[in-house]
Every structure is written in C-alpha cells, then in structure tokens.
A and B are shown apart, each in its own frame.
Chain A
Amino acid sequence: DAKTTQPPSMDCAEGRAANLPCNHSTISGNEYVYWYRQIHSQGPQYIIHGLKNNETNEMASLIITEDRKSSTLILPHATLRDTAVYYCIETDSWGKLQFGAGTQVVVTP
C-alpha cells in the first residue's frame, strides 16, 4: 500500500501557482520523495524527486520540510495542460514505486 497521503482533488486557476501537499510521516532516512503525474489516457510522467533539500527543475519545485514528514510540489504557472493526477511516492532509489490514489488537479481558465 502507498505510504503517502494526498488530498483527493484540487482546482487551480490558469497562470497561478499550484501547491500540492503530501504527507509522508513514516519516511525513513534513505527514502526519497518522488512526484509523478498522469495525464488522461497516458502513462505516468516523472516530475521531480528529492531527499531532504529543496529541488527545482524545468517542470516544478519540490519543498521538503526539515523533518521530512511532508512536502509540497509547486507548479509555478499552471496551464490547462497541467490537468492530471499527481502522485507523491516515498521510496529508496532502487525501491518499488507504490502508487496511491494521488491528487486530481484541474486547471481552469
């Protein structure tokens, strides 16, 4: 079973930042936080991952709390194409990716 907790859904206005929370209170020291998203009828797409430092790439930013029990994925300027189910997963770097239900994000015009 997935070990993370995410809200089932959230809406975001186009052009605004989308902040997606994730709780991973049982995360262990060698486990990373990975984020994927799945656009309707497509395979999941890797977004970003981190261990304890905040990370940023061309798609998003990942903010991890100091105690590592929660994190936030930030999409800085949401577009309609960002509408998808977003999955937060904790695993070690060779670990099994266990997908939970994720957060359905709907970006509205």
Chain B
Amino acid sequence: GAGVSQSPSNKVTEKGKDVELRCDPISGHTALYWYRQSLGQGLEFLIYFQGNSAPDKSGLPSDRFSAERTGGSVSTLTIQRTQQEDSAVYLCASSSDRGSHGYTFGSGTRLTVV
C-alpha cells in the first residue's frame, strides 16, 4: 500500500485480556518501529526492527509486551494481561534505505483497557 497500515484503529479490551496490534509497513521497508503515546504525553519508544538483525527491545516496559516481525514485513505487537496503564495510542513507523526519506508513521491503534 501507499502508507503504513495499522489495525485495528481502535480496540477496547477488558483488564487482564491479551491483545494483538498489527502493523503493515510500506512494501520494501526494512526498518520498523513501535511507539506508544499516552494521552497528552510524548512518544515512548518500544521496539525497533532493522532487517534481519536482532530487534532492539530496550523500550518494552515489561515482559507482558512482545513483538515480532514475520518475513521482514508485517509486525505484531502483543500485550498480555492488559492493565489500565497500557491504554494509549500505539504507533508503528517504517523506513527504507538508511532512513533517507525519514520514517513514515501509521495512524495508530487507540487501545483502551477498561
């Protein structure tokens, strides 16, 4: 597609449930980021995939959070046993050829844990 696609756009889940958030990067982009943004706050780095290298997971806030990227394309962010503080907008971004055109962000998934 023309841009980074994220699904679902909105997700409401009950506390304690697991959720999966999906990111479809721009075709051919080798680098992919996940960020989250709580209401009124800045962007918090979560995880970074670059080609076939081991991902940089240093931003994941707890072991309830995990992410994978299959075939160097689609990525899934999984949150287990969701908590209310997980409520935020989760943003995905991708880039090609050394980031020379910057990273393109998706519109995000708004997660609400009730």
Contacts and interface: CB of A to CB of B under 8 A. Distances in A.
A and B associate in one complex: yes
Given A93-B98, A96-B56, A102-B42, A44 B105 contact: yes
B98 A97 contact: no
A106 B68 CA distance: 38
Interface residues of B, number: 22
Bin the interface of chain A by size: 10 to 19
Interface in B6-51: 31, 33, 35, 42-43, 45, 48, 50
B104 interface: yes
A97 B45 contact: yes
Interface of B: 31, 33, 35, 42-43, 45, 48, 50, 56, 91, 93, 98-108
B108 A94 contact: no
Residues of B contacting A: mostly = strand
B42 A43 contact: no
The secondary structure that dominates the A interface is loop
Interface in A81-109: 93-94, 96-102
Nearest to B47: A96
A101 B41 CA distance: 8
A100 B42 CA distance: 7
